[in-house]
Amino acid sequence: RKYLGREPAECYSSIDPEPLAAASIAQVHRARLVSGEEVVIKVRRPGVVGVVETDIDALMGLAVLAERHLPGSDLYDPVGLVKEFARTIRREMDFPREAHTIEKFAEHFAGDPTLHFPTVYWDQTAGGVLTMEYINGIKVSDTSALERAGLDRRLIARRGADAFLRMVLTHGFFHGDPHPGNVLILPDNVICLLDYGMVGRLDTQLKRYLTDILLAIVERDVDEVISLLLYSGDITDTLDTRA
């Protein structure tokens, strides 16, 4: 009610009180819309924003102290790390942003039958609530269930690798948390990713660099790999490159 501005009964005909999944920021419940669609509701935990902001303040204070008093700490950029963490976790708590992210991925892979992205229900999404299509799939790590369902693990692996390379090297916009709990397999070896709160972005220059180094690795061109690593600054010319 706090986020949607109306009573839950006006949106959902039923909500399972037992969560499908629970984490530190939110938990997910299965439900049914008044219009009949099966959905899941991702709900932000009450008070979590304040807790996170307090933790960020504490971390920033420690980072500033580290930079002032610990020799060599500038190598790790403690303040920069905390700033990046704060940016990431604030975005992870912004569920409308996550909903837009789902639709952006769906747009990037439009017409690709090997991937499925959950439908977002915008009338039931706001602030700390995200309502999206319920996906009934098999967790990618449940290999015995995949085999019982007659699914092709090699094909799934190829499709997953292809999708991730396209995200990184073509779109420069990729899923940032693809652990097994966030990857479901549907009939016909279709892959569905869940939880889009964390994503990564790459600019054109970095995409080109990653493409070049990947090609050099595939072609087993050691000299080119070393040259690219030197050019990027990932290693220095003082390193024993022959070793």
Task: Identify each DSSP E strand in 88-211 by its residue range.
Answer: 115-116, 129-133, 138-139, 173-175, 183-186, 190-193, 199-201
Closest residue by Cα to residue 130 from 197, 54, 47, 227: 197
Distances from the Cα of 166 to the Cαs of 169, 178, 199, 215, in angstroms? 5, 15, 14, 14
For the chain, how are helix, strand and coil distributed in percent, rounded to 5? 50, 20, 35
- Whether 177 is catalytic: yes
Tokens found for residue 8: 């839950």
Tell me how far the alpha carbon of residue 119 is from its chain's centroid: 17
Closest residue by Cα to residue 108 from 47, 43, 167: 167
3-state secondary structure of 142: coil
3-state secondary structure of 203: coil
From 112, 142, 152, 177, the catalytic residue: 177
DSSP letters for 25-55? SEEEEEEEETTS-EEEEEEEPTTHHHHHHHH
110 by Cβ neighbours in 10 Å (0-12 / 13-18 / 19+) ranks as exposed
Give me the active site residues, please: 177
